[in-house]
Chain A
Amino acid sequence: MKKLFRFLVLVSLGLVAISAHAGEIPVGIYGTLTGTDVDVNGMSYGPKDYLTYVNEKFGGVMGHKYVPILLDGKNSIPEEVKVFKRLVDVDKVVVVNGWSTGGTKALRDQINILVKIPFQAQSFSIDVLDPVKYPYIFLMGPTYEDQVLIALEWAKQKGAKTIAFLHADIEYGRAPVRNAMEQKIPEKLGLKVLADIEYAGVSLDLTPQLLRIKELNPDYVYIQDSAGNTIKILRDAAKVGVPASKFFGNNYNFQHIIPGTLGKDAEGFKALQVNADWGANIPMMKEIEEFAKKHEIAKKDAYYTKGWAQGKIIHEVVSRVLKKTGGKIPEIGQFRTMIRDEWVNLENFDTGGGTPPLTYKNHQGHSEARIVEIKGGKFVTISDWIKTQ
């Protein structure tokens, strides 16, 4: 028993030394692989798969292969901090593809001051988007507040006068709504906010909340939550007789499971699309299909495609840096800073149709979205790409 114990200790110490070798480019990716928002973790599988694709198809970048390392952040701040430190310290990655707003905030000093490593977060929060204070943090897509603006402008065009917000009592739910109210987005459009209704993120039944909405009868309800809870909202809305067409969801509601589960109860529901969907007829999708021939794809949805596009950005930026150094991998601190500098210079980068052309001067990539609506059991586009800036 003692011998076994000693053996295990030695083995585990030996296992600690797994890291990338010279001539390879380690890239760190973490996301919620187990935890509350697992349903959108395609965004983390996407970059990993894309970099693997580049390795297989092109032999890496100028002969150097990527080593994508995917870890589980569990959507919990201490876990994400731990994973980040591991990627930076042990695996010595040159770029980190992060996840949550909270985790990104906790790591702000690490990313921008102590370690200085380019960090692409899956957040859409304005709190981490600051080219001056956080020069190493990059996002991709319109912020939640931008999305509220787009949705409410559209509602205004349709003649709406009153709205309500519906969200969970977590940061993801509350902060964007708060920010939108503070920036007076509804007021400036002449819309009256009838209520700001919260529910617990793990609630199973939202009928009481929907009953309130029925009482108040706003013209539109903006849902700052993801498909999992939206399904419950629409299901209970149908129960009390509030039509799905009153509801507008953010970009995380562009999931086919909504009409798939709810059928006709979801007709008329609108959401925002911020990047191409799975199966769209674009060059990027052809790449994914090629990859899919030999690999299993974890999640076939619009979040995976977003992740794929993010992988493309990483590859593009790393390639540009290596072209400048003539194919030599610089020392790691320098490499990270050069990647960041190249990233900021990206202008109108084409992701093969996956997203609108990306410009990173303000660290956001793009801030466009288009509105999609469920008609006949499927999402159809009902607007053009709308810019907010």
Chain B
Amino acid sequence: MKCFKTRHCAYYFIFVGIFLLFPFSLFKYTNYVLFLVNMGAIGVIGASGLNILKGYTGVISLSQAAFMGVGAYTVAILSTKEGLPFWINLPAAGAITAIVGVVAGTPSLRLKGFYLAMATLATQFLLEYVFKNWESMTRGVQGLFITPPQIFRVHMNNDWVFYFFVVPLAFVAVLCTRNLLRTKVGRAFTAIRDRDIAAELIGINVFKYKLISFAISSFYAGVAGGLWCYYMTIINPEAFTLLVSIDYIAMVIVGGMGTIMGPVYGAIFIILLPEFIQRVMEVLQPIFRMTYTFEAFKHIVFGFTIVIFLMFEPKGLSEIFSRMGRRIAKWRRKEVREKGGY
């Protein structure tokens, strides 16, 4: 019962409360907002995976979308052809994607930095090719239809049901990441990222740990892909392109590489930013009477935001928030001192 004494526990209760009550508080736009939140949660899982690979192990991967595709197709095939339930399919998707990830990671034995990134780029395109052409399994470009599983007799792709399913999963993913980094494995990762030659010297088998990193990160991507599959109910190769991989990289960077909450902030930001731009543009549109060019402006603003962000705060949103947190703490301490406290 140590928990009840600390302040942290109160925070947890508040969080859980907000989580449970949130959908009910949206009177008007429930499905739409839940959709955004759900996509954000999937993004958190995928981005956390990528963060492990990039932020903590220092491997640049441009193939996260393809790995998600592997997970999505696994779930689709297992549920349509074998009729397996979701609590087998999702972990299976993660496992199979992890295996693919390890195979894709073998170039890392000899490659570093940019060249490794290019190898992952090749993986992305090769996997896309497989999705499009291994027709006996994936039905190629026509894609696969899924009937989403039912939880308590409601289909999973109902926005409400999915919300209560995926947001806790996202939370679990972040928690797992945090715990992972406290283990020997996690410390090995950061050692490799910072100075891999030195790491090798002190006895860390760099190649083995890089492969483990690929495996874990791909597991996350596979699960995220499987969830996506259940939510969209149709998957085809066009959903897992390089542009999506780039989105994930943007999430990791904007959120803050190598931090635990980074992927969360990043995923939320990247999902919400286009919506925000859209709203602003809608308000401005009658004033400026732009018509078809205003869509292009969204592209420009998105690009600008990314560039400005990286120019002025390369450590990402998590740095901004922790700075704000530190300032608040300092201000509070000052206040307390002024009032004659400790």
A residues contacting B by CB (< 8 A) are 2, 12, 15-18, 33-34, 45, 71-72, 76-78, 81-82, 85-86, 88-90, 102, 105-106, 109, 114, 127, 169-171, 173-175, 178, 296, 298
Contact = CB atoms under 8 A, between A and B. Distances in A.
B298 interface: yes
A109 B142 contact: no
Nearest to A175: B142
A336 B124 CA distance: 43
Nearest to A8: B276
A71 B285 CA distance: 13
A169 B132 contact: yes
B296 interface: yes
Given A88-B31, A90-B29, 11 more contacts: A15-B279, A18-B283, A33-B292, A34-B296, A76-B238, A76-B239, A89-B29, A89-B30, A102-B234, A102-B236, A106-B234
B282 interface: yes
Nearest to B147: A109
A86 B142 CA distance: 26
B39 A82 contact: yes
Contact of A18 (B39, B132, B279): B279
Contacts, number: 88
Interface string B264-292: 00000000000010111011000000011
14 contacts: A15-B283, A17-B28, A18-B282, A76-B238, A77-B238, A88-B31, A102-B234, A106-B232, A109-B157, A127-B142, A171-B236, A174-B142, A175-B142, A298-B291
Contacts of B233: 106, 109
Contacts of B30: 89
Nearest to B278: A71
Interface residues of B, number: 36
Interface string B144-170: 010000000001011000000000000
Interface string B288-307: 00011001101100000000
B207 interface: no
Given A16-B279, A34-B296, A82-B35, A171 B28 contact: no
B141 interface: yes
B140 interface: yes
A interface secondary structure, majority: helix
Contacts of A106: 232-234
A345 to B, nearest CB: 30
Given A33-B295, A45-B292, A175 B141 contact: yes
Contacts of B298: 34, 72
Nearest to B276: A12
A78 B36 CA distance: 11
- Which A-B residue pairs are the 5 nearest by beta carbons? A33-B295, A89-B32, A15-B279, A171-B141, A106-B234
B31 A85 contact: yes
B238 A102 contact: yes
B295 A72 contact: yes
B253 to A, nearest CB: 20
B122 interface: no
B281 to A, nearest CB: 10
B176 interface: no
Nearest to B299: A34
B143 interface: yes
Contact of B140 (A76, A85, A174): A174
Contacts of B198: none
Interface in B23-71: 28-32, 35-36, 39
Nearest to B232: A106
A71 B294 CA distance: 10
Contacts of B132: 169
B9 interface: no
A89 B145 CA distance: 24
Nearest to B324: A2
A16, A106, A109, A296: residue with the most chain B Cβ atoms closer than 10 Å: A106
Contacts of B278: 71
Contacts of B324: 2
A297 to B, nearest CB: 10
B238 A105 contact: no
Nearest to B36: A82
A197 to B, nearest CB: 14
Contacts of A17: 28
B141 A174 contact: yes
Contacts of A173: 141
A368 B234 CA distance: 31
